[in-house]
Amino acid sequence: MSIDKIVSLCKRRGFIFQSSDIYGGFKAVYDYGPLGIALKNNISQIWWKAMTQIHENIVGLDSAILMHPKIWEASGHVGAFNDPLVDCRQCKARFRADELTLDKQPNLDEMNCPKCGTKGSLTEPRQFNLMFKTHIGPVQDDSSIAYLRPETAQGIYVNYLLVQNAMRLKLPFGIAQVGKAFRNEIVARNFIFRTREFEQMEMQYFVKPGNDDRSLEEWKKERLAFYSELGIDTSNLRFKEHGDGELAHYAKEAWDIEYNFPFGWSEIEGIHNRTDFDLKQHQEFSGKKMEYFDPQNNERFLPYIIETSAGLNRMMLAVLSDAYWEDTDNDRIVMKLDPKIAPVMAVVCPLVKKDGLPEIGRKVMDILKPEFKVVYDQQGSIGKRYYRQDEAGTPFGITIDHQSKEDQSVTLRHRDTQQQDRIEIDNLIGVIKNKLENFS
């Protein structure tokens, strides 16, 4: 299946739009439409609950995007957050050197430009920093430089002692955060997979040094299991360990959870042992002690950090890719989204626009609205209405027909099987809740 089919459905049904569409688009930036924001929020809330509600020792934080520029010197992002970049002198196309598989074909003079095909037109790789720079205040000089954060993690590190003191936390404990991150990606492609503005869901788990290896193993297991909660087929997931040459400057050990996207296996989440690298750096650059005090053993030390770092947009793309189903028998496209994360739970459709059926439809809406996100649709044939909602991933269709007037019952249609049950209006909430609990 090609990613283009998902891109097209996302536009058609109001999940995701190219940014600044009327100006011809803005590369590698996307806007989330009514269904997209609902789906993204649902995924993010499930992650938030899995972290801060299920784990008593994990708390939340929302740190600012703009931070003191020294933070990015300490973290290593000013010096080391670079991609090697290669240009084509002929067609001016730009590539990431690692994507040109230079390891296999090290001689650039011998290579053809992947875009225009010209031999020997590629420049030597040069380092390109991925952070977006801006200026704070009216004067634009070196003293006013600020960066848009390229990861949410640093906001957690610089606040960790404030959080720990305020919440009286003892090791091990975690701090979770969902927020925007920005990277000036050179090669941005594959829809929302690699964009310049995106959202991360990161959790930093602070442990006593020596307990880090075990903690990393536990978090690997837990994070992989999480994807079943979103309804993702686990056979489409795998781990990939970072080799020596791939490890980020802060990591002692790192694993990616990869998803089998339409364009191949690619990372959706990283699980990293960052040791005490970041806290040590902040201690040195800020001049402030970053040590944790262990009252039981009366000792002070820098904790080690196990990081779970997921991209919300990539997770959403994995969910969309997994849910996409061409039901060729019935000539329809269905987004088989798990009802837990579906943007809309049910569509309410009076069979005709007369005979008192719309009035019953409105009554059903009023009953369901406080419990679920429901939409009302009386436009077009009932088949077309259902198929529109199948593409939107709406699990249930509720139809009001002439029998509804007689016995206050409706039909409940199931998105995936198209099977219909007759249900009394008074029982609708209970039946839908029951189906949600038993959905597989």
Cβ-proximal residue to ligand GAP, closest one: 311
- How far is it, in rounded angstroms, from Cα 380 to Cα 178? 40
Q: Which window, 2-10, 109-117, 216-224, 311-319, contacts ligand GAP (CB under 6 A)?
A: 311-319
Considering only residues 1 through 60, tell me which ones interact with ligand GAP, judged by CB under 6 A: none
Least separation in angstroms between residue 88's CB and ligand GAP is 22
Selected binder of ligand GAP within 77, 149, 183, 388 (CB under 6 A) = 183
Question: Does residue 313 bind ligand GAP (CB under 6 A)?
Answer: yes
Question: Does residue 198 bind ligand GAP (CB under 6 A)?
Answer: yes
Question: Does residue 377 bind ligand GAP (CB under 6 A)?
Answer: no
Least separation in angstroms between residue 198's CB and ligand GAP is 4
Q: Measured from the CB atom, is 19 or 418 closer to ligand GAP?
A: 19
Least separation in angstroms between residue 131's CB and ligand GAP is 12
Question: Does residue 202 bind ligand GAP (CB under 6 A)?
Answer: yes
Question: Does residue 232 bind ligand GAP (CB under 6 A)?
Answer: no
Question: Does residue 269 bind ligand GAP (CB under 6 A)?
Answer: yes
Selected binder of ligand GAP within 270, 339, 393, 397 (CB under 6 A) = 270
Q: Which window, 160-168, 261-269, 333-341, 365-373, contacts ligand GAP (CB under 6 A)?
A: 261-269
Question: Does residue 267 bind ligand GAP (CB under 6 A)?
Answer: yes
Selected binder of ligand GAP within 13, 149, 194, 415 (CB under 6 A) = 194
Q: Measured from the CB atom, is 123 or 260 closer to ligand GAP?
A: 260
Least separation in angstroms between residue 311's CB and ligand GAP is 2
Q: Which window, 2-10, 29-37, 268-276, 332-340, contacts ligand GAP (CB under 6 A)?
A: 268-276
Least separation in angstroms between residue 199's CB and ligand GAP is 8
Question: Does residue 230 bind ligand GAP (CB under 6 A)?
Answer: no
3-state secondary structure the chain: CCHHHHHHHHHHCCCEEECCHHHCCCCCCEEECHHHHHHHHHHHHHHHHHHHHCCCCEEECCCCCECCCHHHHHCCHHHHCEEEEEEECCCCCEEEHHHHCCCCCCCHHHCECCCCCCECCECCCEEEECCEEEECCCCCCHHHEEEECCCCHHHHHHHHHHHHHHHCCCCCEEEEEEEEEECCCCCCCCCCCCCCEEEEEEEEEEECCCCHHHHHHHHHHHHHHHHHHCCCCHHHEEEEECCHHHCCCCCCEEEEEEEEECCEEEEEEEEEEEECHHHHHHHHHHCCCCCEEECCCCEEECCEEEEEEEEHHHHHHHHHHHHEEEECCCCEEEECCCCCCCCCCEEEEECCCCCCHHHHHHHHHHHHCCCCCEEECCCCCHHHHHHHHHHHCCCEEEEECHHHHHHCEEEEEECCCCCEEEEEHHHHHHHHHHHHHCCC
Q: Measured from the CB atom, is 48 or 376 closer to ligand GAP?
A: 48
Q: Residues interacting with ligand GAP, by CB under 6 A? A: 151, 153, 183, 185, 194-195, 198, 200, 202, 267-270, 307, 309-311, 313-314
